[in-house]
Amino acid sequence: MAVELKAAELMVLEAAWKYDLGTATDQDMAMAKLKATEMLAMVADEAIQIHGGMGLMEDLPLERIWRDARVERIWEGTSEIQRHIISRSMLRPLGA
C-alpha cells in the first residue's frame, strides 16, 4: 500500500509541476487522477480486509474512507473516461 501511495503521489506532483510550467497535457492529468483514485480504492479495500468486519463499523473512519473512495472514481470523470483520454493521447500520434 505504501508503494502505491508513493507512486500516486509522485504522479500527482509531476502533473502539478508540468501544469506550473505550462506543459501539462490531458494525458498527464488523466494519468495522475486515474492512479490516485484507483490507488485510494485499493488501499481502502485492503484496509477493510485487514480489519475484517470491524472495518465496516461506523466506529472506525475506514467505512467512510471506503465509501468516499468509490465516489472519487466518478467525480471529475470516471476511471473509464480517464483511460479513454490516456489511450487517445497514445494512439492519436500513430494516426489511430
- Number of CB atoms found within 10 A of residue 56's CB: 14
The pLDDT of residue 60 is 80
Which pLDDT does position 44 carry in this prediction? 92
Which positions are catalytic?
76
- Predicted pLDDT at 87: 96
Task: Classify residue 93 by its DSSP letter.
Answer: G
Look at residue 84 in the predicted model and tell me its pLDDT: 95
pLDDT in tens, 4-60: 999 999 999 999 999 999 999 999 999 999 999 999 999 999 998 998 877 778 888
pLDDT of residue 53: 79
Whole-prediction pTM: 0.82
CATH classification code of 2-94: 1.20.140.10
Half-sphere CA count of 38, side-chain side, radius 13 A: 16
- Give the tens place of pLDDT for each residue, 55-93: 778 888 888 888 888 887 777 778 889 999 999 999 998
Domain chopping of the chain, boundaries? 2-94
